[in-house]
């Protein structure tokens, strides 16, 4: 996920509060849970983004959601501020930036792993082990599914991409065939 400037600013403030209160894991989990609920529930987004309901109604709804996911008070208060300022659309970005800060502090490296279909836990355990060995750091795998890959796996660690997808391989073969068919040997 691309993290916005707004996401980074709020995440940094929340991370500092979580660090002070020694609840980084709890705060990160709560932010992630609320962000997923916001992203997956059209009804929730409609209610929270609609200007018609009174701010008090939205604040109560946010408090209820925060309580349900076990969010620390400062996270609930931040969600209320985001709602008041019409910035809940940045919640996914804030949660992603918060996770990145937590991983950095823990010395963990995030690897975005995209596969064409769900794979076994054993596969991901082995992939995580191999990536940890090659990077010399603990690796946290974030999984995504993209059927357009046809097969294989794409791993992104920071700015580095390891593309072992069938889609990429087919593209390479196509390029090689175009070069071979070209009258000058170039595409």
DSSP strands (E only) in 8-130 = 108-115
Which pLDDT tens digit goes with each residue over 78-93?
A: 999 998 888 888 999 9
* Domain end call among 103, 134, 163: 103
Provide the pLDDT confidence category of residue 185 given band limits of 50, 70 and 90. Answer: low
Pairing relationship of beta strands 138-145 and 108-115 according to DSSP bridges: parallel
Please return the burial class of 167, using the count of CB atoms within 10 Å of its CB with bins 0-12, 13-18 and 19+: middle
Handedness of CA 16, 113, 33, 50 (dihedral sign): positive
Q: Do 126 and 95 sit in the same domain of this protein?
A: no
The count of structural domains within the chain is 2
Q: Do 128 and 63 sit in the same domain of this protein?
A: no
The structure tokens listed for 7 are: 């996401």
Q: What is the pTM of this model?
A: 0.68
Q: Is 126 part of any domain?
A: yes
* Domain end call among 103, 135, 158: 103
Q: Do 48 and 84 sit in the same domain of this protein?
A: yes
**For position 51, what pLDDT does the model report?**
79
Q: What angle do CA 8, 14, 32 make, to 5 degrees?
A: 80
Which pLDDT tens digit goes with each residue over 157-178?
A: 877 888 888 887 888 888 888 8
Q: Is 187 part of any domain?
A: no
**For position 114, what pLDDT does the model report?**
94
Q: Residue 82 maps to which CATH number? A: 1.10.520.20
């Amino acid at each position: 996920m691309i993290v916005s400037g707004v996401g980074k600013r709020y995440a940094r403030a929340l991370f500092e509060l979580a660090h002070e209160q020694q609840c980084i894991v709890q705060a990160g989990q709560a932010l992630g849970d609320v962000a997923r609920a916001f992203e997956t529930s059209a009804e929730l987004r409609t209610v929270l983004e609609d200007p018609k309901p009174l701010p008090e109604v939205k604040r109560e709804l946010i408090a209820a959601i925060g309580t349900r996911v076990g969010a620390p008070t400062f996270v609930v208060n931040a969600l209320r501020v985001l709602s008041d300022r019409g910035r809940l659309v940045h919640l996914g970005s804030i949660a992603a930036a918060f996770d990145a800060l937590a991983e950095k502090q823990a010395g963990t490296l995030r690897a975005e792993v995209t596969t064409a279909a769900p794979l076994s836990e054993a596969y991901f355990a082995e992939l995580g082990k191999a990536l940890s060995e090659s990077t010399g750091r603990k690796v946290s795998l974030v999984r995504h599914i993209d059927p357009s890959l046809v097969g294989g796996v794409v791993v992104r660690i920071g700015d580095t991409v390891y593309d072992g997808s069938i889609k990429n391989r087919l593209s390479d073969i196509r390029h090689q065939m175009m070069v071979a068919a070209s009258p000058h040997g170039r595409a």
